[in-house]
A and B are shown apart, each in its own frame.
Chain A
Amino acid sequence: MTELLLHSFAQNAFIAGLIVSLLCSSYGVFVVQRRMSFLGDGLAHVAFGGVALGLLLQFEPFWVSIPFTIIVAIALTYLKENSSLEVDTAIGIFFAVSVALGILFISINKRYVSDAFSYLFGSILLVSKNDLLYSLVFLLITLVIFLFWWERWTYSTFDYELAKVDKINVEFDNYLLSVLIAITIVISIKLVGILLVASYLVVPAATAKLISKTFSQMTIFSLIFGVISSEVGIFLSIIFDLPTGAFIVLFQASFFCLILILKYLFK
């Protein structure tokens, strides 16, 4: 067992888990508090289309999904800000079309069906050294952006209008947030899987919210829960040789329930 954990793929997985969980839990607090989980869900579905296209064209799925999800993230944000049209419906359509296309792409070239499954469920074996590098770079970018934007995003999360009165460019900030969430989702897919990435994004933040009195606390707790649950999940998945994403999300969900119960008992 220790041998297994010393393997380079295992080390990759633990590092990837650390990076990806830090990313998801930091953006997750905004996704939860702004009630944007639909965005996470929708973008994951769109990413599926991108991944399938990448597999079909035999081109790194990561780089195919990124532009797709970013464009859709921008489009959804635009729709949300500028139209009275039912945004839910629009997202539902984006959803369906990209999943349908994804299914077609995969069926055209049956050789990649098993790869497609890895992307759906997530697998530590998919995580390459290159992936680690991209995600590390993106984590550093995120860190810098958070230094400047956390206080702006938090203010407009609390109240859009007050933030606007105080000359915060809330529209731009919203687009920025959506694009960054899109990238975060695509980066997390290899480890967690398309099916579970949306919950991976929100559960640590939702758990943190249960016990936080301020938004700063919520951010910190979310990071802690995210990292712990990801590392434990990866450990278990290596030991039992079962999909990583499932372990992580199950672990996160039980954490959430535990805290919910404790909170109920002690208040």
Chain B
Amino acid sequence: MKDPIVEISELSVFFGKYCVLNKVDLFVRSLDFLTIVGPNGGGKTTLIKTILGLVEPESGSVRVFGKKPCSVAYKNIGYVPQIKTIDRSFPGKVYELVATGWSGRWKFALNDVLRQRVKEVLSTCGLEHLEDRQINKLSGGELQRVFLARSFIRKPKLLLLDEPATGIDTIAETDFSFLLEKLQKENQTTIIMVTHDWEYAYYHSTSVLLLNKSVVALGKPQDVFTEENLQKTFGHLGHEHNMDFILRKDD
């Protein structure tokens, strides 16, 4: 059996009196590609942040690589936050931001080795042209892709992505799934990704978590994506054609 990467049991998270996650159990094995799907406000981001140690659980336990989130070495975890609102007044360049992914610090100056590493990851992600740009002059989609590059440079053992494809055009999105697969193959990366794209989750992930405050379903995509489960997660499904891709495949 493969090593457990993330083990969560009976996890509950409250913001004040308001329960955001209720008794969540989750087990992610090495090399899994887990997608998390659920309605807005369903607690997806909160779950990711709990794994990162940014949010303190009310009860239950979270183990990442067998340790408490706060004692996992930062190099092991990559993180792409949900549409990042950055301080647009901060003077900094793209290569500096990407380099933070490697060093976990905002370097005063980059040495040649690090600079080369940044160049490589930017060209893998097709972003060479942005290297010397100022961060505050990037478009939303460009910034999102820079954050992806920033998470790739670390070659993390565990990669957490919170709706990474938001704002990225379709062509870049294809590259993006290709890059994820490459990263996973080369570095044995385990991936956890929040997405609203059911089709993506269905075809690309090894398991799916349907989350709406508590776990609605967890398992292989084929088993999880049923009318009944989706109805339980999202309430009334306004437009049934959301499920078209599954029906198409069955034909």
A residues with CB within 8 A of B = 33, 150-152, 154-155, 157-159, 161-162, 164-168, 209, 212-219
Of A151, A213, A216, which one neighbours B105 at CB under 8 angstroms?
A151
Residues of B within 8 A of A214 (CB): 91-93, 96
The 6 sampled A-B contact pairs (Cβ below 8 Å) are A151-B105, A152-B106, A157-B106, A162-B100, A213-B93, A216-B108
Whether B106 lies near A158 (C-beta < 8 A) is: yes
For the A-B complex with A158-B97, A214-B92 known, give 15 more contacts whose Cβ atoms are closer than 8 Å. A151-B103, A151-B107, A155-B100, A155-B104, A157-B106, A158-B100, A158-B106, A161-B81, A162-B81, A162-B100, A165-B52, A167-B104, A168-B105, A213-B91, A215-B106
A residues within 8 A CB of B73? Answer: 167
A158 touches B105 (CB 8 A): no
Q: Pick the residue among B53, B79, B91, B104 that contacts A215 (CB under 8 A).
A: B91
- The segment from B21-29, B82-90, B118-126, B231-239 found at the interface with A is B82-90
* B52 CB contacts on chain A under 8 angstroms: 165
Name the distance in Å between A174's Cβ and chain B's nearest Cβ: 16
Which A residues lie within 8 Å of B202 (CB)? Answer: none
Chain B residue numbers with a CB within 8 Å of A215 are 90-92, 96, 106
A205 to chain B, nearest CB (A): 11
**Which residues of chain B have C-beta atoms less than 8 A from A150's C-beta?**
108
> A212-B91, A216-B108 are contacts. A158–B86 as well, Cβ < 8 Å?
yes
Taking CB atoms, residues of chain B closer than 8 Å to A158 are: 86-87, 90, 92, 97, 100, 106
CB–CB A161/B54 < 8 A: yes
Contacts of A209 in B (CB 8 A): 91
B residues 97-116 near A (Cβ < 8 Å) are 97, 100, 103-109
Size range of the chain B interface in the assembly: 20 to 34
Chain A neighbourhood of B87, CB < 8 A: 33, 157-159
Residues of B within 8 A of A217 (CB): 91
The answer to whether A166 and B104 touch (CB under 8 A), given A158-B86, A161-B54, A161-B81, is yes
When distances are taken between beta carbons in the complex, the residues of chain B under 8 Å from A154 are 105-106, 108
Q: Does B77 contact A (CB under 8 A)?
A: yes
Most buried by B among A159, A165, A209: A165
Q: Which of A152, A164, A216 has a CB less than 8 Å from the CB of B54?
A: A164
Select which of A151, A166, A212 is within 8 A of B74 by beta carbon.
Answer: A166
Say if the beta carbon of B134 comes within 8 Å of chain A.
yes
A96 → chain B closest CB, angstroms: 30
A157, A167, A168 pick with most chain B CB within 10 angstroms: A167
Q: Which residues of B contact A166 (CB under 8 A)?
A: 74, 100, 104-105
Partner of A216, one of B74, B77, B109: B109
Known contacts A165-B52, A167-B74, A214-B92; is A159 also within 8 Å of B86 by CB? yes
* Most central of B91, B100, B103 by chain A CB within 10 Å: B91
Which of A165, A168, A219 is close to B77, meaning CB atoms less than 8 Å apart? A165
Q: Which residue on chain A has the smallest CB distance to residue B150?
A: A162
Residues of B within 8 A of A165 (CB): 52-54, 74, 77, 79
Give Cα A194 to B96, complex, Å. 38
A189 CB, min distance to chain B CBs, angstroms: 29
Specify the chain A residue showing the minimal Cβ separation from B154. Answer: A166
Taking CB atoms, residues of chain B closer than 8 Å to A162 are 79, 81, 100
Within 8 Å CB of B91, what residues of A? Answer: 209, 212-215, 217-218
Give the CA-CA distance A219 to B109 in the complex, in Å.
12
In the bound assembly, the distance between CA atoms of A6 and B190 in angstroms comes to 69
| Binary per-residue interface labels of chain B (52-67) against chain A in the complex, 1 for a CB within 8 Å, 0 otherwise | 1110000000000000
B131: min CB distance to chain A, Å: 13
Task: Give the contacts of B27-75 with A (CB-CB under 8 A).
Answer: 52-54, 70, 73-74
CA distance A150 to B109 in the complex (A): 11
Residue from the set B84, B89, B92 with the largest chain A CB neighbour count within 10 Å: B92
In the complex, A152→B105 CA distance in Å?
6
A155 to B87, CA, bound (A): 12
